[in-house]
Chains A and B, each alone.
Chain A
Amino acid sequence: MITEKRANKKRVLVGLSGGVDSSAASVILKEKGYSVTGIFLEFWEEGACCNSQAQERARDVCRRLNIPFYVLNVKREFKERVVNYFLESYKKGETPNPCVVCNKEVKFRTLVEKLISFDSDYIATGHYVRKDESGDDVRLLKGADKKKDQSYFLWNIKKEWLPSILFPLGELKKEEVRNIARRHDLPVANVRESQEVCFVDGSMKRFLKNNLGGESGDIFDKEGSFLGRHNGLFHYTIGQRKGLGLSGGPYYVLFKDLKNNQLVVTKDEKDICKKELFFKDGNFIRRERFPFEAEVKIRYNTQASKAIVEEEKVTFLKPQRAVATGQSAVFYKGEELIGGGVIK
């Protein structure tokens, strides 16, 4: 039998993707003496992230580590809560962040909910974030590998879940993680990084076109002069510069006029810079009294900027470019993730 005796070992459910991070996380937990169970969440039929090969790799890892392996079907939840949200958001002219929604609504939620039936103590993932339980309150910190820090995607998880979550990779650098996988001869050591939006197999343009249609329309500058044609408003993000197909640029996307199916662009980068943003659906890992000072990040691949956070509003000290509705504004104080919200 694979199942280990309960004994005194703490039991942990590791969410496995078939990639190097979650696999190495399992190794670390096992070496630390936890009784580890691998869980593969089946999100979607197509796409690169949860195809049968990824599942097979996750299973291989469990076989090598001699730990139990389970596949949980969350296709319905993922479709309803993530993919539909993603498409709805695009329809509204936003630039959604499906990973944030998935983490809360599917990945972490499912694993936390399964703690009872698996009679386990913790869940764990391969995210590069740290947890600090030294104080009265558990705090969520950026990953030690600053290049890999993934806290941006976790602002929305429930604070009450945190005590039950382990992040074994938080203190590690990506290279160290790869080495762990190599050292244990895990079949994932050289698997390529997961793509940006896991359920979009191939071209995002085609995916949006297939699911949302989207008619081409006119592009104007802010003075109202006609500049060219766009091929469906969904394909553009506020602040976008590349791929507009306009000569005499560079131009930046300033505004999407959904009612008239028009794209408004500007040559003046200042136009796409904003000092303020409003957010909705705020979630706070750490309770702070408004207003408070924080560093705020408005995209994953961007630096956090100093700002004052109020109940539904962020005021930056310096203007920010390309504030896209639908993306997450995430608040930090130094290393600590305070919370976040969805940009309105």
Chain B
Amino acid sequence: MKKIYLDYAATTPVDKEVSRKIEVFSEDKFGNPSSLHSFGQEALFAMDHSREVVADFLNCKRKEVYFLSSATEANNLAVFGVLKKRNDPHVIASPIEHKAVLEPIKRSGASFDHLPVSSDGIVKKEKLKELIRENTVLVSIGYANSEIGTLQPLKEISEIIREENKKRKEKIIFHTDAVQAANYLSCDVQSLGVDLLTISGHKMYGPKGAAALFIKEGVDVSPIIYGASQEKGLRPGTENVYAIAGLAAAIEVLDKNDNERTEELRDRIVRGVLSELPDAKVNGSMKDRLPNNINFTFKGAEGESIMIALDREGVAVSTGSACASNSLSPSHVLLSLGLSHEEAHGSIRVSLGRFTTKEEVDFFIEKLPSIVNKLRMISGK
């Protein structure tokens, strides 16, 4: 059976070119960057090069780029690292943020307000101003949502924060999780106006195990783990040179992504599915959306069952985010858009990528309706 992968938002395969570029770091140039001998030098040079590439991608200084093991770790550092030295801090984030942002905020003990989202999954930026308090220290809004692919107006938000900061001695820090966006949208931190930004290698055709956090010069972030002085003491622990070089290599071949082609395939799926299943609903704005993301709700059919049935046909999709899909509670993102529990349960996410073909898309379009219809019959709805 041919296997079709339509879950690029969960993770991407490593691009062959990336693999080729970094294989040298696994068996040959395996040194520890902190070692002073030639093995260490090679690894340190690789770190330097990688940092240069990422800085270039983000349009920031090299010293503003910190490497970590995952986006979750980067987001934890962003949240805890900013809040650590603050007294009675207040944080604002949207309710559709990834758990890797929401959980740290909840556990930090900071007071927390949601910047609400509209029913099509875009934050209501006009509400931000009234939510900002005197003790607000952090605003975290994801660039593109991992489940529904909606794009958030970061520039406008950063403009509001900048205005607010003019009146303040202690500036509000603006963080964005750009993990899903990095493949398709500009991550120029200057034009976005963010202070902190997270990207992750394995969502960009690099290997798992490396992420980067942009920390604008002058923003005070405290370490959350302690050890030696790697990453200027902000992320001690031996660097995963292989994966970090992979993140950089992935960025170097990023222009292989074809936004237009991806968007066409995405719209082909939407058209194809809606013509067979007219009562299917697409969650989230179709206008402000990643070119590779579709999120459907099928009334009367369980997302999990659809996912499993498709998997038996060789097609991999997901229900919500991979990280939340093994929990029984429905997606907090979909609930935030105003979907009922039942609707949220009846949803699947289809995410396309660099290697998705028209044939694969057509196979999915062909298989899905009968699966949904069968499941609906069984559930009697």
We find that the number of chain B residues with CB closer than 8 angstroms to chain A is: 11
* Further 13 A-B residue pairs, CB within 8 A, beyond A1-B42, A68-B38: A2-B41, A2-B42, A53-B63, A56-B48, A56-B62, A59-B45, A59-B48, A62-B41, A62-B45, A63-B49, A69-B41, A70-B36, A70-B41
How far apart are A119's CB and chain B's nearest CB, in angstroms?
14
Per a CB cutoff under 8 Å, which of B38, B45, B62, B63 touches A63? B45
Chain A residues with CB below 8 A from B42, complex form: 1-2
Give complex CA distance A248, B366 in Å: 98
Per a CB cutoff under 8 Å, which of A1, A52, A56 touches B38? A1
Chain A residues with CB below 8 A from B232, complex form: 52
How far apart are B176's CB and chain A's nearest CB, in angstroms?
27
Instruction: Tally A-B pairs: CB < 8 A.
Output: 27
Q: Are B36 and A2 in contact (CB under 8 A)?
A: no
A3 within 8 A of B: yes
B44 within 8 A of A: yes
How far apart are A191's CB and chain B's nearest CB, in angstroms?
14
B residues engaging A (CB < 8 A)? 36, 38, 41-42, 44-45, 48-49, 62-63, 232
How far apart are A72's CB and chain B's nearest CB, in angstroms?
9
22 contacts between A and B (CB under 8 A): A2-B38, A2-B41, A2-B42, A52-B232, A53-B63, A56-B48, A56-B62, A59-B44, A59-B45, A59-B48, A60-B48, A62-B41, A62-B45, A63-B45, A63-B48, A63-B49, A68-B38, A68-B41, A69-B41, A69-B45, A70-B41, A71-B36
Give complex CA distance A336, B38 in Å: 40
Give complex CA distance A69, B35 in Å: 12
Q: Which residue of B lies closest to A3 (CB)?
A: B38
A residues engaging B (CB < 8 A)? 1-3, 52-53, 56, 59-60, 62-63, 68-71
Chain A residues with CB below 8 A from B63, complex form: 53, 56
How far apart are B67's CB and chain A's nearest CB, in angstroms?
15
Chain B residues with CB below 8 A from A2, complex form: 38, 41-42
Chain B residues with CB below 8 A from A52, complex form: 232
Give complex CA distance A7, B35 in Å: 26
Give complex CA distance A321, B36 in Å: 50
Chain B residues with CB below 8 A from A59, complex form: 44-45, 48
Chain A residues with CB below 8 A from B41, complex form: 2, 62, 68-70
Give complex CA distance A62, B48 in Å: 11
How far apart are A23's CB and chain B's nearest CB, in angstroms?
15
Give complex CA distance A232, B370 in Å: 92
Q: Which residue of B lies closest to A67 (CB)?
A: B41
Q: Which residue of A lies closest to B61 (CB)?
A: A53
Chain A residues with CB below 8 A from B62, complex form: 56
Give complex CA distance A60, B52 in Å: 10
Which 3 A-B pairs have CB atoms at the shortest separation, nearest pair first?
A63-B45, A3-B38, A2-B38
Chain A residues with CB below 8 A from B44, complex form: 59
Query: Which of B38, B45, B48 has the most chain A CB atoms inside 10 A of its CB?
Result: B45
Give complex CA distance A53, B217 in Å: 14
Chain B residues with CB below 8 A from A62, complex form: 41, 45
How far apart are A306's CB and chain B's nearest CB, in angstroms?
50
Give complex CA distance A52, B63 in Å: 10
Give complex CA distance A190, B101 in Å: 41
Query: Which of B38, B41, B42 has the most chain A CB atoms inside 10 A of its CB?
Result: B41
How far apart are B29's CB and chain A's nearest CB, in angstroms?
9
Give complex CA distance A70, B62 in Å: 21
Chain A residues with CB below 8 A from B48, complex form: 56, 59-60, 63
Chain B residues with CB below 8 A from A69, complex form: 41, 45
Q: Which residue of A lies closest to B49 (CB)?
A: A63
Give complex CA distance A3, B37 in Å: 10
Chain A residues with CB below 8 A from B45, complex form: 59, 62-63, 69
Give complex CA distance A70, B49 in Å: 17
How far apart are A180's CB and chain B's nearest CB, in angstroms?
21
How far apart are B124's CB and chain A's nearest CB, in angstroms?
42
Chain B residues with CB below 8 A from A1, complex form: 38, 42
How far apart are A69's CB and chain B's nearest CB, in angstroms?
6
How far apart are B61's CB and chain A's nearest CB, in angstroms?
10
How far apart are A95's CB and chain B's nearest CB, in angstroms?
37
How far apart are B217's CB and chain A's nearest CB, in angstroms?
12
Chain B residues with CB below 8 A from A56, complex form: 48, 62-63
Give complex CA distance A55, B42 in Å: 16
How far apart are A286's CB and chain B's nearest CB, in angstroms?
39
Q: Which residue of B lies closest to A1 (CB)?
A: B38
Chain A residues with CB below 8 A from B36, complex form: 70-71
Give complex CA distance A343, B26 in Å: 59
Give complex CA distance A170, B166 in Å: 52
Give complex CA distance A74, B306 in Å: 66
How far apart are B45's CB and chain A's nearest CB, in angstroms?
4
